[in-house]
């Protein structure tokens, strides 16, 4: 009982000390919070710039010049009626994004039942020109389909004759006990895949981007560099309390940064799902917009709650393991080499779970250190995580997190480890 009180007392003292030092270091706070704001900000500015150009062309139409338009009057008329394309005259051909060249024998080739050829010339390889050529291809595709249908009709067939076998595909229902059956959008609603694509990389790698690694290094190797480690070693303070106090501030900082990434991911996911529906509305009111957005959320609160439950012990485990190594490292140089490897390994594990570990790999994978939590998060968004799976992943990660704290406490009590390089 006394040992527990001592550990809690040390924990409170050390956590307050670490928090005070962090708040005093404004540059560290800035670089800690910069990525969640700066990186999405740059992406949003780029998207607005590209979107502005695209919107202008979509509103006015992509300028297209048709060379020898008299050879294909029906196709030319189709382009004139298109809302996405505006035809320009020969004197303005240089301003056209796409040039469509029609050979003189185009109509004769079609009338003879042969293949007629068209030539598309792009002005450049910019993003807007790529959209323009897509619009041109769509119009040509529609004209080609109409000619094809006419040819089939002329010989007494229709398009269904070309498809003698048709396969109807359906998605199997999730297991009755699947957590995601009530916590994630159903297939077809468009939300689950979008949320998974955003949350899985951000939730795992934001700990790396958000500066949690650097804070762990400062609480270990930094003590050596500042030559304050000796004063810690000579105290009878509980090593568990010391480690927990240091890691608590690192955890809070990492979790706060991760929450910012998650919040931005939610907003982007909702906008990506709701924006097309809102644009499809005719003179939408605020009530209609709110209804569309609320309908896109699904049971997002439950989904985020499960994600947070999985990530809390996961972050503690990662921070503890990094602290173990940094306690043994003799300098910042040595610790930075290790951190570089961690920054490569964690994203690699994310890719491994997405592309190499299938959903039918077995529940035993949930108990694998680090990898099990990543797999559980993936399955949470893919609607295949069962109640037993989430319990196994959570219990296993909590056990590993406690083991990591114990190992970090042991390393922090070893003079031979902490005084390396001094």
The set of residues, in sequence order, having a beta carbon less than 8 Å from that of 196 and lying 6+ positions away, is 378, 381, 382
Domain ranges of the chain: 2-39+182-418, 56-156
Query: Which residue from 306, 324, 321, 291 is spatially nearest to 378, judged by alpha carbons?
Result: 306
Q: What is the pLDDT of residues 224-252, one digit of tens each?
A: 777 777 677 677 778 788 888 888 888 88
Asked if residues 256 and 315 have their Cβ atoms less than 8 Å apart, the reply is: no
Centre a 10 Å sphere on the Cβ of residue 106 and count the other Cβ atoms it contains.
18
Report whether CATH 3.40.47.10 matches the domain 56-156: no
Asked if residues 376 and 385 have their Cβ atoms less than 8 Å apart, the reply is: yes
Q: What is the pLDDT of residues 301-329, one digit of tens each?
A: 777 788 888 888 888 888 888 888 877 77
What gap in Å lies between CA 342 and CA 208, rounded to an integer? Answer: 8
Asked if residues 239 and 410 have their Cβ atoms less than 8 Å apart, the reply is: yes
Give me the pLDDT at residue 67, please.
93
Give me the pLDDT at residue 209, please.
55
Nearest-5° Cα angle at 255, 376 to 15: 130
Region of 74 on the Ramachandran plot (φ > 0 left; ψ -120 to 50 alpha; else beta): alpha
Side-chain half-sphere exposure of 369, counting CA atoms within 13 A: 11
Say how many residues make up the chain: 422
- Provide the sign of the torsion angle of the four alpha carbons 173, 177, 181, 184, taken in this order: negative
Which segments of the chain have a pLDDT < 70? 1, 3, 53-56, 58, 170-212, 230, 233, 265-286, 288-290, 292-300, 330, 359-360, 415-422
Place of tokens 């949320």: 195
Asked if residues 75 and 105 have their Cβ atoms less than 8 Å apart, the reply is: no
User: Exposed, middle or buried, 176 (CB in 10 Å: 0-12/13-18/19+)?
Assistant: exposed
Query: Which residue from 169, 183, 221 is spatially nearest to 385, judged by alpha carbons?
Result: 183
Give me the pLDDT at residue 389, please.
87
Centre a 10 Å sphere on the Cβ of residue 284 and count the other Cβ atoms it contains.
15
Beta strands in 258-393, from DSSP E residues, in sequence order? none
Give whole-number Cα distances, 414 to 18, 143, 221, 233, 421, in Å. Answer: 21, 78, 14, 9, 14
Beta strands in 52-165, from DSSP E residues, in sequence order? 62-67, 85-87, 98-101, 119-122
Rg (CA), the chain: 30
Asked if residues 394 and 311 have their Cβ atoms less than 8 Å apart, the reply is: no
Place of tokens 């994203």: 347
Give whole-number Cα distances, 127 to 9, 134, 159, in Å. Answer: 60, 11, 35
> Distance of alpha carbon 381 from its chain centroid, rounded?
12
Query: Which residue from 186, 220, 61 is spatially nearest to 135, judged by alpha carbons?
Result: 61
- Helix, strand, coil percentages in the chain from 3-state DSSP, rounded to 5: 75, 5, 25
Give whole-number Cα distances, 105 to 101, 119, 305, 375, in Å. Answer: 12, 13, 66, 60
Tokens of 120: 């598309």
Q: What is the mean pLDDT of the chain?
A: 77
């Amino acid at each position: 009982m006394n040992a527990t009180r001592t550990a809690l007392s040390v924990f409170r003292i050390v956590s307050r000390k670490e928090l005070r030092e962090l708040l005093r270091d404004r540059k560290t706070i800035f670089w800690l919070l910069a990525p969640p704001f700066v990186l999405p900000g740059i992406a949003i500015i780029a998207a607005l710039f590209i979107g502005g150009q695209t919107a202008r062309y979509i509103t006015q139409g992509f300028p297209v010049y048709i060379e020898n338009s008299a050879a294909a009057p029906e196709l030319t008329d189709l382009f004139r009626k298109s809302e996405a394309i505006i035809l320009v005259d020969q004197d303005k051909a240089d301003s056209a994004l796409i040039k469509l060249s029609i050979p003189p024998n185009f109509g004769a080739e079609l009338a003879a039942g042969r293949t007629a050829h068209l030539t598309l010339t792009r002005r450049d390889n910019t993003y807007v020109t790529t959209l323009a050529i897509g619009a041109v291809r769509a119009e040509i595709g529609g004209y080609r389909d109409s000619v094809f249908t006419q040819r089939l009709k002329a010989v007494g067939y229709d398009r269904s004759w070309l498809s003698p076998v048709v396969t109807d595909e359906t998605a199997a229902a999730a297991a009755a006990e699947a957590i995601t059956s009530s916590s994630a959008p159903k297939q077809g609603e468009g939300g689950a895949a979008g949320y998974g694509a955003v949350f899985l990389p951000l939730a795992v790698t934001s700990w790396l981007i958000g500066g949690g690694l650097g804070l762990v290094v400062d609480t270990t190797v930094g003590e050596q560099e500042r030559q304050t480690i000796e004063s810690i070693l000579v105290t009878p303070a509980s090593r568990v309390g010391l480690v927990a106090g240091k890691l608590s501030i690192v955890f809070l900082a990492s979790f706060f940064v991760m929450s910012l990434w998650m919040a931005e991911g939610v907003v982007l996911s909702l906008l990506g799902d709701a924006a097309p529906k809102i644009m499809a509305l005719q003179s939408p009111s605020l009530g209609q917009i709110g209804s569309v957005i609320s309908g896109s959320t699904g049971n997002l609160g439950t989904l985020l709650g499960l994600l947070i439950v999985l990530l809390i012990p996961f972050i503690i485990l990662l921070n503890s393991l990094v602290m173990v190594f940094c306690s043994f490292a003799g300098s910042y140089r040595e610790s930075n080499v290790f951190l570089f490897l961690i920054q490569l390994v964690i994203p690699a594990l994310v890719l491994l779970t997405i592309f190499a570990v299938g959903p039918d790999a077995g529940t035993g994978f949930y108990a694998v250190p680090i990898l099990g939590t990543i797999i559980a998060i993936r399955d949470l968004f893919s609607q295949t995580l069962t109640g037993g799976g989430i319990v196994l992943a959570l219990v296993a990660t909590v056990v590993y997190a406690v083991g990591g704290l114990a190992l970090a406490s042991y390393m922090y009590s070893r003079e031979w480890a902490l005084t390396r390089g001094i």
